[in-house]
Structure 1
Amino acid sequence: MSARTVTPFDLDAYTRGFEAWDADTVLDMYADDVEMIQIDRDNPPSSPRVSHGKEPLRGIMKYGATNGVTITSESPVADSERAAATFTCTFPDGRSVVANAILDIRNGRIVRHHEVAVGERG
């Protein structure tokens, strides 16, 4: 019987990368064909925003880094196949968005990012 090799997922690097808006670190943790499912005020559960690839996430990272958004993570948990965390984004005008992210992991990379976000209207 052969042992299954598991590529670890570095949850600490992932959350630190987001908190620093370090796009290179964060994007490297996603598979090239990642599926992102986002539910928010404009995209209800019956019609979530679904995208594939890293480009939408690259845009989010660029926006946060260039617009003075601070992000903190709470309650991160992970094993070899899944991870989850709560992220709070605070905008310069004081409004906040809280997002719960559930991540499916394969070979140490995120292959599916499912997110539910709620926030104050700007």
Structure 2
Amino acid sequence: MGTTAPTGFDADTLRRAVEGENATVLLSLYADDAQIRLVNKDAQPSRPKVLHGRNEIAEVLNDVYSRDLKHRMEQCVIEGDHAAYSESCEYPDGLRVLSESMITLRDGKISEQIMIEAWDD
């Protein structure tokens, strides 16, 4: 089990980006043509929400990071050109969100991500 991909992508960089106060650093980790496939209660596995390219990804990340929400990266494993990580989020009212992501790296950038989210009801 490695902690650094050969391309220089590492867990500390990902942690700073995920736990940062705005989307800018996190967005910089994505390739221009990156794709995110998001599965949650509103976007089920047979019809996931798919974001194509940094512009679509930026819209969602800017929305998420504009909220009063605390982000924490729980765990991260990086092996070659793949990484997986857990992220927990909490709103001021106590509502929690947990996400699990599997990412594919290309030239040190995230090229594909599958994210599964679970929300408190």
Question: What TM-score, normalized by structure 1, do the two folds share?
Answer: 0.85
Q: State the match for 1:14 in structure 2.
A: 14
SS state at 2:18 partner: helix
Alignment of 1:86-105 (within 5 A): 86-105=86-105
Preserved CA contact (<8 Å) 1:103 1:110: yes
Once the two structures are superposed, what CA deviation does each residue of 1:58-88 show, in whole Å capped at 9, x if it has no partner? 2343334332100111121112301111001
Q: State the match for 1:23 in structure 2.
A: 23
Instruction: Provide structure 2 residue ranges, at least 5 long, that are not aligned to the other structure.
Output: 1-5
* Greater C-alpha radius of gyration: 1
- Runs of 4+ in structure 1 over 6 Å off: none
Once the two structures are TM-superposed, the CA of residue 28 in structure 1 deviates from its matched residue by: 1.2
Structure 1's 100 and 12: CA in aligned 2 closer, same or farther, altered over 3 A? same
Question: What TM-score, normalized by structure 2, do the two folds share?
Answer: 0.86
Tell me if 1:50 matches 2:50: yes
Q: State the match for 2:80 in structure 1.
A: 80
Instruction: Provide structure 1 residue ranges, at least 5 long, that are not aligned to the other structure.
Output: 1-5
SS state at 1:58 partner: helix
Report % sequence identity: 27
Tell me if 1:107 matches 2:107: yes
Q: State the match for 2:61 in structure 1.
A: 61
Aligned length: 116
Q: State the match for 2:118 in structure 1.
A: 118
Structure 1's 26 and 119: CA in aligned 2 closer, same or farther, altered over 3 A? same
Q: Bigger shift: 35-44 or 73-82? A: 73-82
Paired residue type of 2:115: E
Structure 1's 21 and 54: CA in aligned 2 closer, same or farther, altered over 3 A? farther
| Distance in 2 between residues matched to 1:48 and 1:62, nearest whole Å | 20
Paired residue type of 1:92: P
Q: State the match for 1:3 in structure 2.
A: none
| Distance in 1 between residues matched to 2:116 and 2:61, nearest whole Å | 17
